[in-house]
């Protein structure tokens, strides 16, 4: 089977939906953030605090390139991954890309409901969180739009699988 890459904004559900899809398809699930944490032996917050974003983006680039075509993986990416280096081209050359296009208001609601300390770029106590995410969404859309499939709205694994199944 082709690899399936989930891309989209933080809190769009890539990690949650990706795991459920892999279970339903009985294939292997990887989360690029977890790959980086394992490789580095420290949290994403620690990586950002100690070595900065550019270092993290380089780690993202490196772990993405360990994924090869035809590995039957469901891959949940980090929200920024498609927007750096030529990662989006690599993703599209290596599998089927699916953009989880969740409304920004929903992202904020989810971030406020859950602790966001593991997302150093977004703070639930930021009074400008909605504006920050709206701006980031606009900046990232040109990359996200390069996905082969877009699933709009509040996503479930079933909804994504239906669209992926129809496409495959």
Ligand X SMILES: Nc1ncnc2c1ncn2[C@@H]1O[C@H](COP(=O)(O)OP(=O)(O)O)[C@@H](O)[C@H]1O
Ligand Y SMILES: O=C(O)C1=C[C@@H](OP(=O)(O)O)[C@@H](O)[C@H](O)C1
Binding residues: 11-16, 33, 57, 79, 119, 140
* Residue 27 near ligand Y by CB under 6 A: no
Q: Which residues of 70-96 are buried (b: 16+ CB within 10 A; e: fewer)?
A: ebebbbbbbbbbbbbbebbebbeebbb
Least distance in angstroms from the C-beta of 15 to Mg ion: 3
> Which parts of 20-79 interact with ligand X (CB under 6 A)?
76
Q: How far is the CB of 52 from Mg ion (least distance, A)?
A: 20
Residue 44 interacting partner from Mg ion, ligand X, ligand Y, none (CB closer than 5 to 8 Å by kind): ligand Y
Q: Using CB under 5 A, pick the residue from 15, 87, 97, 116 that binds Mg ion.
A: 15
* Burial class of residue 3, CB neighbours in 10 A (0-12, 13-18, 19+): buried
Contacts of 161 (CB under 8 A, 6+ apart): 21, 24, 25
Task: Give residues in contact with ligand Y (CB under 6 A).
Answer: 10, 14-15, 33, 44, 78-80, 119-121
């Amino acid at each position: 089977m082709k690899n399936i890459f989930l891309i989209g904004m933080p809190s769009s559900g890539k990690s949650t939906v990706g795991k459920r899809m892999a279970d339903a398809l009985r294939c292997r699930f990887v989360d690029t953030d977890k790959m980086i944490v394992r490789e580095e032996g420290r949290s994403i917050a620690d990586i950002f605090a100690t070595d900065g974003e550019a270092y993290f983006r380089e780690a993202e680039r490196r772990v993405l390139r360990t994924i090869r075509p035809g590995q039957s993986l469901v891959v949940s990416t980090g929200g920024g991954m498609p927007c750096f280096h030529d990662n989006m081209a690599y993703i599209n050359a290596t599998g089927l890309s699916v953009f989880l296009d969740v409304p920004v208001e929903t992202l904020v609601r989810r971030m406020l409901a859950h602790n966001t300390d593991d997302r150093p770029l977004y703070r639930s106590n930021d009074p400008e969180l909605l504006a920050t995410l709206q701006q980031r969404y606009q900046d990232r859309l040109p990359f996200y739009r390069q996905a082969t499939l877009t699933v709009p709205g509040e996503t479930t694994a079933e909804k994504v699988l239906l669209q992926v199944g129809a496409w495959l």
